């Protein structure tokens, strides 16, 4: 069967990569994941839950990302956005998330997100926050501690551990940007940091 | 979805897939978005998928259920296209002439010819001066000039079809090395000789538009090269588009600077230790966080290093070891890939953390190519380019391989093997003898190793996947080449151990850690130049990790306190730990011996499952005086 293949414009390819589920922010706003949070933006995102206390990975990660946010202060909410998506929507209502954000001193440009459990589960899989071991995958306390980062319009996506040094996390993001990185020393250019 | 599932009732399933994908394509043409598709029940949980029971992870861009292959590539007609023979690069005169420090002058020379873009005006992205520049070809400490072989490539986007034209799959946009003077498209081949330094100028003419994945900042690593750190292509030495970078390859044997100033073989005396003679290297992009994406995009080529100076591996089948040479010396790059069933384009699963598997094995860029062979001996050089799949090669008629190398380094003796397992990044040279075949015979090179996820191979030998068809043609021909019995003695490991270090490779929160630490720019080990060390590798939880320290080869002293198998009694630049890495054996620990000699600076050691590498399984070590 000689197949026919569809040409796909970049905009469509980008959109197909993500689910566009409805989420609620810790400020109580309803947003679409792709249309409102990711499209045309530079983003960093992770999954977490407020009750993650046993391993303390989540609070440590959040604290670490607060340091990242401080390093990126002038850009946060302007051209860099951070999203932390809950793994425990039953508990993590917008109110709980707002309290959590306040407790960590989270500033503008960083949203904590909850939503319908099935949508969040689908989003988690869509973004690769999945363990190949089904037992581990069901165990929230062993969830994946990666920080996904990307420049969506350029389709440049990378990741680093949420617990990596904050300076390294920022460098990893800046490296994704065109004509920055190694050349900036040579050309006397300054990064937008 | 595993390969096994694919094999059973494959035809029926392919029909189903074809029908189902046609629906999806029609919908995509109609401009519906994913949300609407979901509502229509067509993508998730739809009738189409229920019919395709067992094909989990089939859904487009829904990549991660159980770490499976994201979806099924369009079918291909096997054995239509010939195996591409990598073109050998030709020497040029570089303009401007190379300099020890960063070149002050922009690129000159020809404008756009043979499909190569205009790179005039590109400036050098290198920051550090070349080490030992005038010792190995540099004309002067200050003035421009190079008295060795000069080569010039351009990294550029190329439209390339992995499928035969008749399958109707449109070409994909790949990024690859293209020879500037001829327009020859990668995988290319550099033929180097010991004693003749090379300066390889690489221009980055890659576009900002990446077609879905990859980043146009690159750093080219010569894998297995005993290369100065500034020319090693380390992960943090990337340079941007519209720049070039001069890579300096001394082509000298390890030990030349102190431990073995000279040594002799076959009556010839040369710098360095003749027992460190290398043979089959490759080069590929090594950009931090993007090695998997950029190499998958085809930034990979061959570097074969000959030793005519000691009459060993001479590139001439009438001299030295008399290995099959010229047109009978053929390198093969194995890379498994996935193609988007809607667009037919090369697809990379951006959000996978464990390892990426493809359902189409490409060889030098073609899916299931054929190769016409004469009735004589051939030297094949197998290279597995990843991102994550291990392979085990067999010949369909049960004929053996005469194995000459491990990790591209000549062995002490030729080994006769019925199958050869190769991890990502490893290279193996073999001789295959077709002299007993009959004209018209079809012999298949087969991969039979099962691997169903990024964890590593299961170790099971399964129904074959024919990856290359050898078509035997003509009468028996005169064949001056030989299969040697003894090849090259191993260097001594009887050297004082200055230090032991332990390296533990573990999964941690979905990322990949070395000694509990994620990769960043800090140096994890300072190693004193001209010393030897013992490094112990440990792996928990069974994941397979092909570990690759740059700079010099190492020797595996033990696997789980047992001696390594015969094919690992060799100079290694990869050591694989984890489950099923040797047969179905699990290795939790390796002891290895390595020397750190001739060059200074920082080098990485990393897992060569490039998805693990890009998710932090890498450290830097630094040679200091």
A1 and B CB contact within 8 Å: yes
Q: Can you give the pLDDT at residue A178?
A: 84
**Does residue A185 register a pLDDT over 70?**
no
Q: Is the pLDDT of residue A52 over 90?
A: no
Q: Given a cut of 50, is residue A187 above it in pLDDT?
A: no
Confidence of residue B468 (pLDDT cuts 50, 70, 90): very high
* Strand (E) or helix (H) holding B3: helix B3-7
* Best B106, B159, B171, B350 residue to mutate vs chain A (most A CBs within 10 Å): B350
List, for residues B586-600, the tens digit of each pLDDT value: 889 999 999 999 999
The pLDDT > 70 percentage for chain B reads 89
- pLDDT for A59: 86
- Cα(B550)–Cα(B196) distance, integer angstroms: 22
Residue B270 has pLDDT above 90, yes or no: yes
Please tell me the distance from the alpha carbon of residue B153 to that of residue B175, in angstroms, as a whole number: 12
Q: How far is C-alpha B103 from the chain's CA centre?
A: 29
Token pair in block for residue B329: 């010396």
Q: Which helix (H) or strand (E) holds A57?
A: helix A57-71
Q: Report yes or no: B567 at the A interface, CB cutoff 8 Å.
A: no
Chain A residues close to B71, C-beta within 8 Å: none
What is the distance, to the nearest Å, from the Cα of residue B133 to the centroid of all Cα atoms in its chain? Answer: 28
Contact residues for B417 (Cβ-Cβ < 8 A; gap 6+): B400, B401, B403, B567
Residues B281-295: tens digit of each pLDDT: 999 999 999 999 999
> Which three-class secondary structure state does DSSP give residue A106?
coil
B332-364 pLDDT, tens digit per residue, is 999 999 999 889 999 999 999 999 999 999 999
Q: Does A98 touch chain B (CB under 8 A)?
A: no
B508 pLDDT tier (thresholds 50, 70, 90): confident
With 70 as the cut, is the pLDDT of residue B49 above it?
A: no
Quick check: A84 and A92 in contact, CB under 8 A? Answer: no
Q: How far apart are CA B121 and CA B106, in angstroms?
A: 5
Note the pLDDT tens digit of each residue in B173-188.
999 999 999 999 989 9
Which contiguous run of DSSP H or E holds residue A29? none
Q: Which residues of B touch A47 (CB under 8 A)?
A: none
Q: Which residue among B67, B74, B215 places its CB closest to the CB of A3?
A: B74
Structure tokens at B361: 């094995």
8 Å CB contact of B511 and A145: yes
The count of other CB atoms within 10 Å of the CB of residue B153 is 26
Summarised one tens digit per residue, pLDDT across range A88-98 is 999 999 999 99
* CB contacts, 8 Å: A132 with chain B: 66-67, 354, 453-455
% chain A with pLDDT above 90? 70
CA distance B113 to B579: 50
Per-residue pLDDT, B592: 97
Q: Give yes or no for B240 touching A (CB within 8 A).
A: yes
Question: What is the rounded CA–CA span in Å between residue B625 and residue B623?
Answer: 7
Cα B184 versus chain centre, distance = 19
Residue ranges of B 346-375 with Cβ closer than 8 A to chain A = 349-354
Whether A175 has its CB under 8 Å from any CB of chain B: the answer is yes
Residue B22's pLDDT is 52
Whether residues B240 and A179 touch (CB distance < 8 A) is answered with yes
Q: Which residues of B445-458 are buried (b: 16+ CB within 10 A; e: fewer)?
A: bbbbbbbbbbbbbb
Taking contacts as CB-CB distances below 8 angstroms, the residues of chain A near B240 are 178-179, 181-183
Q: What is the largest CA-CA distance in chain B?
A: 77
Best of A2, A4, A8, A31 to mutate (most B CBs within 10 Å, chain B): A8
Task: Mark yes or no for CB contact A145/B510 under 8 Å.
Answer: yes
- Residues B410-463: tens digit of each pLDDT: 999 999 999 999 999 999 999 999 999 999 999 999 999 999 988 999 999 999
Helix (H, G, I), strand (E, B) or coil at A134: helix
- Structure-token pair, residue A10: 């970049």
Inform me whether the C-beta atom of residue B520 falls under 8 Å from chain A C-beta atoms: yes
Query: Do B511 and A10 make contact, defined as CB atoms within 8 angstroms?
Result: no
Query: What distance in Å separates the CA atoms of residue B196 and residue B532, rounded to the nearest whole number?
Result: 27
Judged by a CB distance cut-off of 8 A, whether residue A184 touches chain B is: no
Cβ neighbors of B341 (< 8 A, separation 6 or more) are B17, B21, B24, B60, B71, B72, B73, B74
Distance from CA of A81 to the nearest CA of B (A): 19
Question: With contacts defined as CB-CB under 8 Å, which chain A residues touch B453?
Answer: 132
A189 touches chain B (CB under 8 A): no
Interface residue A60 vs chain B (CB under 8 A): no
Q: Is the dihedral of CA B404, B409, B413, B415 positive or negative?
A: negative
Residue B516 pLDDT > 70: yes
Q: In what order do the strands lie in the sheet with B461-476?
A: B370-375, B461-476, B442-449, B391-395, B420-422
Neighbours of B79 (CB within 10 A): 19
pLDDT value at position B436? 95
CB B227 within 8 A of CB A170: no
B27 touches chain A (CB under 8 A): no
**Distance (Å, whole) CA A30 – CA A36:** 10
Mutate to test the interface with B, among A157, A170, A185 (most CBs of B within 10 A): A157
ipTM confidence = 0.92
Query: Inter-chain contact B127–A186, Cβ cutoff 8 Å?
Result: yes
Contact call for B288 and A175, based on CB within 8 A? yes
- φ, ψ for residue A152 (rounded to 5)? -60, -45
**Across the interface, do A157 and B241 touch by the CB < 8 Å criterion?**
no
Tens digit of each residue's pLDDT (9 = 90 or more) over B491-502: 999 999 999 999
Q: Is B336 helix (H, G, I), strand (E, B) or coil?
A: strand
pLDDT for the residue numbered A141: 81
Kindly provide the b/e burial profile for residues B397-429, where b requires at least 16 CB atoms within 10 angstroms of the residue's own CB.
eeebbbbbbbbbbbbeebbebebbbbbbbbbbb
Among the ranges given (A52-56, B54-58, B67-71, B141-145), the one the predictor scored with the smallest mean pLDDT: B54-58
Residue A22: strand, helix, or coil: strand
**Res. B24 pLDDT band, cuts 50 70 90:** very low
What are the backbone angles phi and psi of residue A95, rounded to the nearest 5°?
-65, -45
Contact B28 A8 (CB under 8 A): yes
pLDDT at residue number B19: 53
> Going edge to edge, which strands form the sheet with B149-160?
B123-124, B243-249, B198-204, B149-160, B172-179
Comparison of pLDDT for B270 and A182, the residue scoring more = B270
Which chain A residue shows the shortest CA-CA distance from B34?
A16
Does residue A189 carry a pLDDT above 80?
no
From CA B610, how far away is CA B307, in angstroms rounded?
A: 31
Question: What SS3 class is residue B19?
Answer: helix
> Of A122, A128, A183, which has the smallest distance from its Cβ to B351's Cβ?
A128
Express each pLDDT in B202-237 by its tens digit: 999 999 999 999 999 999 999 999 999 999 999 999
pLDDT at B20: 47
Residue A179 to residue B241, Cβ atoms within 8 A: yes
- Burial class of B119 by CB neighbour count within 10 A (0 to 12, 13 to 18, 19+): buried
Q: How many CB pairs under 8 A join A and B?
A: 173
């Amino acid at each position: 069967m000689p197949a026919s293949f569809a040409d796909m414009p970049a905009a469509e390819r980008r959109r197909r990569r993500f689910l566009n589920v409805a989420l609620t922010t810790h400020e109580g706003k309803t947003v679409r994941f792709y249309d409102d949070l990711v499209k045309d933006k530079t983003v960093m995102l992770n999954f977490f839950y407020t009750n993650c206390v046993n391993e303390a990975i989540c609070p440590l990660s959040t604290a670490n990302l607060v340091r990242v946010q401080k390093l990126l202060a002038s850009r946060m909410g302007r051209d860099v956005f951070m999203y932390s998506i809950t793994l425990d929507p039953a508990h993590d209502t917008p109110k709980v998330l707002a309290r959590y954000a306040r407790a960590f001193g989270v500033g503008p440009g960083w949203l904590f997100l909850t939503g319908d459990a099935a949508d969040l589960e689908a989003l988690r899989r869509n973004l690769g926050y999945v363990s190949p071991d089904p037992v581990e995958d069901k165990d929230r306390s062993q969830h994946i501690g990666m920080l996904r980062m990307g420049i969506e319009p350029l389709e440049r996506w990378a990741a680093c551990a949420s617990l990596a040094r904050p300076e390294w996390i920022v460098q990893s993001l800046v490296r994704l940007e065109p004509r920055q990185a190694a050349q900036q020393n040579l050309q006397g250019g300054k990064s937008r940091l | 979805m595993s390969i096994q599932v694919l094999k059973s009732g494959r035809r029926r399933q392919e029909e189903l897939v074809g029908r189902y994908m046609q629906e999806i394509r029609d919908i995509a043409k109609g401009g519906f978005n994913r949300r609407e598709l979901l509502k229509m029940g067509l993508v998730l949980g739809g009738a189409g998928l229920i019919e395709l029971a067992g094909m989990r992870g089939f859904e487009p861009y829904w990549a991660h259920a159980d770490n499976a292959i994201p979806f099924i590539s369009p079918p291909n007609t096997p054995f239509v296209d010939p195996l591409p023979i990598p073109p050998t690069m030709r020497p040029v005169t570089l303009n401007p002439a190379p300099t020890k420090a960063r070149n002050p002058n922009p690129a000159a020379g020809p404008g756009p010819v043979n499909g190569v873009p205009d790179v005039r005006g590109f400036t050098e992205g290198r920051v550090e001066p070349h080490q030992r520049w005038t010792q190995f070809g540099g004309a002067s400490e200050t003035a421009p000039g190079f008295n060795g072989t000069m080569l010039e490539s351009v990294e550029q986007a190329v439209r390339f079809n992995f499928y035969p034209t008749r399958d109707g799959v449109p070409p994909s946009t790949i990024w690859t090395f293209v020879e500037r003077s001829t327009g020859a498209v990668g995988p290319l081949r550099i033929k180097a000789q010991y004693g003749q330094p090379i300066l390889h100028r690489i221009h980055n003419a890659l576009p900002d538009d990446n077609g879905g994945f990859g980043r146009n900042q690159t750093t080219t690593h010569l894998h297995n090269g005993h290369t100065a750190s500034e020319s090693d292509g380390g992960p943090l030495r990337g340079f941007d588009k519209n720049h070039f970078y001069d890579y300096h390859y001394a082509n000298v044997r390890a030990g030349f600077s102190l431990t073995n100033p000279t040594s002799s073989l076959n009556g010839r005396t040369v710098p360095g230790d003749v027992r460190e003679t290398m043979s089959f290297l490759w080069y590929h992009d090594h950009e931090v966080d993007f090695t998997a994406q950029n190499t998958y995009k085809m930034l990979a080529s061959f570097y074969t290093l000959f030793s005519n100076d000691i009459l060993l591996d001479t590139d001439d089948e009438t001299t030295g070891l008399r290995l099959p040479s010229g047109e009978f010396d053929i390198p093969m790059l194995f890379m498994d890939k996935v193609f988007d069933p809607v667009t037919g384009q090369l697809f990379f699963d951006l959000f996978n953390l464990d390892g990426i598997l493809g359902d189409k094995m490409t060889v030098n860029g073609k899916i299931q190519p054929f190769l016409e062979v004469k009735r004589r001996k051939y030297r094949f050089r197998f290279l597995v380019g990843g991102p994550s799949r291990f392979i085990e090669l067999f010949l369909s008629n049960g004929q053996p391989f005469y194995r000459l190398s491990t990790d591209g380094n000549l062995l002490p003796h030729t080994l006769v093997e019925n199958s050869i397992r190769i991890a990502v990044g490893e290279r193996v040279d073999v001789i295959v003898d077709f002299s007993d075949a009959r004209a018209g015979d079809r012999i298949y090179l087969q991969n039979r190793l099962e691997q169903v996820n990024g964890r590593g191979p299961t170790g099971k030998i399964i129904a074959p996947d024919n990856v290359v068809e050898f078509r035997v043609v003509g009468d028996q021909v005169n064949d001056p080449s030989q299969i040697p019995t003894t090849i090259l003695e191993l260097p001594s490991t009887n050297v004082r151990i200055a230090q032991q270090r332990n390296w533990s490779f573990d999964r941690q929160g979905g990322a990949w850690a070395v000694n509990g630490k994620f990769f960043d720019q800090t140096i994890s080990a300072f190693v004193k130049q001209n010393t030897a060390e013992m490094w112990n590798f440990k792996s928990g939880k069974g994941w397979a990790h092909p570990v690759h320290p740059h700079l010099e080869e190492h020797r595996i002293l033990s696997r789980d306190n047992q001696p390594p198998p015969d094919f690992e009694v060799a100079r290694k630049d990869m050591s694989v730990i984890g489950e099923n890495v040797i047969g179905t054996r699990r290795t939790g620990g390796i002891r290895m011996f390595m020397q750190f000699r001739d060059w200074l600076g920082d080098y990485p050691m990393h897992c060569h499952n490039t998805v693990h590498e890009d998710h932090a399984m890498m450290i830097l070590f630094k040679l200091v005086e």
